């Protein structure tokens, strides 16, 4: 209920689900989402899939656990923008329905932010993606076409090192080639990547490997949402540096796309 309630923003105009849209695997369909003031966020909204298995959260790994991860959007001025979370506590305590729900869940009507974070975390843990056509095939409950199987073979050779099945990510951080990102990045919040957390120069511009699950509904792609389609990404100058093998032909890219569509 909290996740879908705009009450969680000061103006009552933005909910978690405003940017993490359920029908798009809890991601957004624009490069940068709009917060409660109409200002855009610094990074593309990531889908919330299989978070229970993620050791680090956010594009830069700044979230250490699901309980704490909601603090950032609640506080962030470009997202929900609460300067004082005690005001949010007061708002929720004034709601008879929330007092009753929190009493049932936590045994208290004295609603605190810790309760809110735990409730949001438990909901986000339930967002499991595990019933794609690939999942059914791997469990011998369905079939894949010849192009899809050829794409799977290609994927295993050239992509699976970073997008490791079954979660299709290794949760590691990489800076993509200079053909995709400039060598010298401005030291702003969004462009620093993993460096914002570690302060290590080697981590400048590094971002977490995204999952490829549900790829057909998690566009646009990359941390800044620069690619609207998978085809755009694969035709970009730096794509061939993003995987471990030799450059792919256009035919191979189409086979790979055939396989990736089985993860939707």
* Topology of the domain comprising 6-125: Cytochrome Bc1 Complex; Chain D, domain 2 (1.10.760)
Q: Is the pLDDT of residue 203 over 80?
A: yes
Q: Is the pLDDT of residue 190 over 80?
A: no
Q: Is the pLDDT of residue 180 over 50?
A: no
Q: Is the pLDDT of residue 248 over 60?
A: yes
Domain ranges of the chain: 6-125, 133-172+209-263
pLDDT at 188: 60
Token pair recorded at residue 255: 């086979």
Contact between 119 and 2 under an 8 Å Cβ cutoff? The reply is yes
Name 221's bridge partners.
Answer: 227
C-beta atoms surrounding 100 within 10 Å: 11
Q: Is the pLDDT of residue 186 over 60?
A: no
Q: Is the pLDDT of residue 187 over 60?
A: no
pLDDT at 3: 97
Q: How far apart are CA 209 and CA 171, in angstroms?
A: 6
Mean pLDDT within 201-214:
92
Dmax (CA) for the chain in angstroms is 61
Contact between 132 and 217 under an 8 Å Cβ cutoff? The reply is no
Quote the mean pLDDT of the chain: 91
Of the pLDDT bands very low, low, confident and very high (cuts 50, 70, 90), residue 192 is confident
Task: Give the model confidence (pLDDT) of 226-237 as tens digits.
Answer: 899 999 999 887
pLDDT at 52: 94
Give me the residue label for tokens 């086979």: 255
Task: Give the model confidence (pLDDT) of 83-96 as tens digits.
Answer: 999 999 999 999 99
Of the pLDDT bands very low, low, confident and very high (cuts 50, 70, 90), residue 37 is confident
pLDDT at 181: 46
Q: How far apart are CA 182 and CA 185, in angstroms?
A: 6
Q: Which CATH number is associated with domain 133-172+209-263? A: 1.10.760.10
Contact between 133 and 144 under an 8 Å Cβ cutoff? The reply is yes
- Weakest mean pLDDT among 27-36, 105-114, 137-146, 165-174: 27-36
Q: What is the pTM of this model?
A: 0.90
Task: Say yes or no: do domains 6-125 and 133-172+209-263 share a fold.
Answer: yes
Of the pLDDT bands very low, low, confident and very high (cuts 50, 70, 90), residue 182 is very low
Token pair recorded at residue 90: 């007061």
Q: How far apart are CA 11 and CA 104, in angstroms?
A: 27
């Amino acid at each position: 209920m909290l996740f879908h309630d705009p009450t969680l923003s000061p103006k009552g105009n933005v909910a978690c689900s405003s940017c993490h849209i359920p029908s798009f695997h809890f991601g957004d369909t624009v490069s940068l989402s709009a917060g409660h003031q109409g200002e855009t966020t610094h990074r593309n909204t990531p889908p919330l899939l299989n978070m229970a298995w993620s050791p680090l959260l956010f594009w830069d790994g700044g979230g250490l656990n699901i309980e704490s991860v909601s603090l950032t959007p609640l506080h962030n001025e470009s997202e929900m923008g609460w300067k004082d979370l005690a005001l949010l506590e007061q708002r929720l305590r004034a709601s008879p329905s929330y007092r009753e729900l929190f009493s049932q869940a936590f045994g208290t009507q004295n609603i605190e932010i810790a309760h809110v974070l735990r409730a949001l975390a438990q909901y986000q843990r339930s967002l499991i993606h595990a019933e794609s056509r690939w999942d059914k095939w791997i469990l011998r409950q369905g079939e894949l076409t010849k192009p899809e199987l050829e794409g799977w073979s290609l994927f295993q050779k050239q992509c699976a090192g970073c997008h490791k099945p079954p979660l299709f990510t290794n949760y590691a951080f990489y800076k993509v080639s200079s053909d995709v990102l400039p060598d010298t990045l401005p030291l702003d919040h969004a462009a620093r990547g993993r460096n914002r957390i570690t302060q290590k120069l080697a981590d400048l511009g590094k971002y977490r490997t995204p999952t490829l699950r549900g790829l057909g509904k998690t566009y646009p792609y990359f941390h800044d949402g620069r690619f609207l389609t998978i085809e755009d990404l694969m035709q970009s100058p730096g794509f061939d540096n993003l995987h471990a093998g030799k450059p792919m032909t256009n035919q191979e890219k189409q086979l790979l796309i055939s396989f990736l569509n089985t993860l939707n």
